Structure 1
Amino acid sequence: MTMRLPAALGALADRVIADAADRRMVVLLDGGSGSGKSRLADELAAALAERGVTGLQLVRMDDVYPGWRGLADAAAQVPALITGTDPGYWRWDWQEHHRTTRVVLDPAAPLLVEGCGALTRDSAPLATTRLWLTMGPEDRKTRALGRDGELFAPHWDDWADQERAHWRANRPARLADIRARWC
C-alpha cells in the first residue's frame, strides 16, 4: 500500500492502531536521509495521541547511531529495543563524538522507531506496522544538507554508502507494509 502525505496522515494513524489491535504497538519507520522520517514520526505521534494512544515512546535512530560509521551497529540494536529484557539505548553526542546518557524504554508502552536502519530482516517480524518513506535521491540530499549542512556535508557520501548497504542487506522497502511519500 502506498500513501501520499500529508493527506493520508489520518488514515495512516488509523491503520497503525488497527495493525496493533490488542498487541503492543510497535511502528518501524525507515527511509533514506532527508526523506522526512522525523517529520512523519512527529506528525504520526500527534495523530495517534489525538486518537487516544498514550505513552508512545519515540526513538530516533539519530540518537542511537554511534557516530558517522554507525548505521549498521544501530540497526542491529533495534530488535533489543523492542523485545529486550532491559530495553534502551545510549544517546550519542554528535558534537563530542561519544555516548552520553542511557535512555530506558518501557517494554509495555507503544513504540515508534524512526530512522534509516529501523526496518531490517530481524526487526520487521517484531513490529505491528512497518513503514518505508520514499523520496528521490537528489531531493533527499537537498533536504538533508539544507537541514544539517555543515555537520552532514562532509559525511554525505559515506553515509549514503551505509544506507545503500543497509538497503541491499535488508530490503526495507520490501519489508514495509506501507510505503509513503510527501507530496
Structure 2
Amino acid sequence: MAAAYFSHVPREAALTPDPGWRAVSREAGEAALTPDPGRPAVSREAGDGGGVEGRSGGLPVAVVEAYAELARRVLAGPARLGRTRLVAVDGPSGAGKSRFAARLADALAVRSGGRPPVVHTDDLLDGWDDQVTFWPRLDEWVLAPLREGKPGAYRRYSWVRQRFLSRPVPVPVAPVLVLEGVSAARAVVRPELTLAVFVTAPASLRLARAVARDGPEILPELRRWHAGERAHFAADDTASRADLLVDGAPTLPHDTDRYYVRIR
C-alpha cells in the first residue's frame, strides 16, 4: 500500500472533547457562516501539526467558516504563479487535506463557473522514499509552465505498479490551481502562493484512519512516513507560516460539505 491512499479519508470520527480547547461560532463578519449561532463547543487538541496556539499565545479558538467565503477570498486574491492563484493544502497524512481541497474546489467551481484543477503530490512521488524530494518533478512538469502562462502536465505514479504511468495528466492554465499533499506549502513555493492551508489532526486518529483503511501491514512504512513528516514540518515551520490552520477532526457541529473549522 502507499501514501497515495492517505488522501481519501473517512468522514470525521467522533472524538472525546478536551477541555484544553475552546471553540466558538462567529457570524459572517469574519468570513464565518454559523450553522448553530452562538453555541460554544469544545474541540480536542489538533495534533502534532507544528505548534498550534492562539494568536495571543493562549488557547486556540475554533471558528466555523464557509468554503464559499474562502473561495471568494481566493478569487479576489493576487495571482502569483503566472496568471494562476496557487492554493496549497498541506498537513500530515490522514489529517483531511484531500477532503478540504475537494470541498474548496467545489466552492470555487460555483463562484468561477469552472472547477479548478487539483494536483495531489502523492501522484508525483516515486514511492515511499520520495516523500519530500519529488519537488523538482512537480516544478518541471506543472509549476514552471504555469509561471509562463502555459499549460502543464504530469505523469501519475501508480502505487500498485510502482512506476509512473505513460499517459500524461493535463494541468490547464486556470484562475486557480489547488495543490494538495505533504509539503505542498513548503518554503520554496510560498512567494507564489495566494493561500497556504495547513490541515491537522491528532496523530493517533491519523494512524487509526490509515490502519483501518489499508490494514496493519502498512504500519512499518507508515511510522517511517510520519517521522519524515514531523522532521519536514519542524524544519520548514509550515504550520506557523500557513495563512489558515484547519481542524481535520473537529467536534464542533457543522455541515462538513459547506463549512470547515478554522483553529487559527
CA distance in structure 2 between the aligned counterparts of 1:59 and 1:3, rounded to whole angstroms: 30
Residues 74 and 117 of structure 1 are in contact (CA less than 8 Å); yes or no, is this contact kept in structure 2? no
TM-score, normalised to structure 2's length? 0.61
Q: Which has the higher helix share?
A: 1
Q: Which of 138, 161, 178 is the matching residue for 1:96?
A: 161
Residues 87 and 106 of structure 1 are in contact (CA less than 8 Å); yes or no, is this contact kept in structure 2? yes
CA distance in structure 1 between the aligned counterparts of 2:156 and 2:126, rounded to whole angstroms: 8
CA distance in structure 2 between the aligned counterparts of 1:179 and 1:12, rounded to whole angstroms: 13
CA distance in structure 2 between the aligned counterparts of 1:151 and 1:113, rounded to whole angstroms: 29
Q: Which of 110, 117, 124 is the matching residue for 2:190?
A: 124
- The runs of 5 or more residues in structure 2 that have no matched partner are 1-54, 251-264
Q: Which of 118, 140, 143 is the matching residue for 2:209?
A: 143
State the partner residue of 1:71.
131
Residues 195 and 243 of structure 2 are in contact (CA less than 8 Å); yes or no, is this contact kept in structure 1? yes
Classify 1:77/1:109 alpha carbon distance in 2 versus 1 (closer, same or farther; 3 Å).
Answer: farther
Deviations 1:1-38 (A, max 9, x none): 88958753233222222224795221000000000011
Task: Tell me the C-alpha RMSD between the 2 structures.
Answer: 2.7
Is 2:80 aligned against 1:19? no
TM-score, normalised to structure 1's length? 0.85
Classify 1:88/1:135 alpha carbon distance in 2 versus 1 (closer, same or farther; 3 Å).
Answer: same
What does 1:40-119 correspond to in 2, within 5 Å?
40-80=100-140, 81-84=142-145, 87-100=152-165, 101-119=167-185
Residues 108 and 115 of structure 2 are in contact (CA less than 8 Å); yes or no, is this contact kept in structure 1? no
Residues 79 and 123 of structure 1 are in contact (CA less than 8 Å); yes or no, is this contact kept in structure 2? no
How many Å apart are 1:90 and its aligned residue?
A: 2.3
Classify 1:127/1:106 alpha carbon distance in 2 versus 1 (closer, same or farther; 3 Å).
Answer: same
Classify 1:78/1:122 alpha carbon distance in 2 versus 1 (closer, same or farther; 3 Å).
Answer: farther
- The runs of 5 or more residues in structure 1 that have no matched partner are none
CA distance in structure 2 between the aligned counterparts of 1:7 and 1:34, rounded to whole angstroms: 21
Residues 30 and 132 of structure 1 are in contact (CA less than 8 Å); yes or no, is this contact kept in structure 2? yes
Classify 1:141/1:46 alpha carbon distance in 2 versus 1 (closer, same or farther; 3 Å).
Answer: same
Classify 1:82/1:25 alpha carbon distance in 2 versus 1 (closer, same or farther; 3 Å).
Answer: same
Q: Which letter maps to 1:72?
A: V
Classify 1:133/1:76 alpha carbon distance in 2 versus 1 (closer, same or farther; 3 Å).
Answer: farther
Q: How many residues are aligned here?
A: 183
Classify 1:147/1:7 alpha carbon distance in 2 versus 1 (closer, same or farther; 3 Å).
Answer: farther
Q: Could you say which structure has the larger radius of gyration?
A: 2
- Percent identity over paired residues: 31
Report SS of the residue matched to 1:129: strand
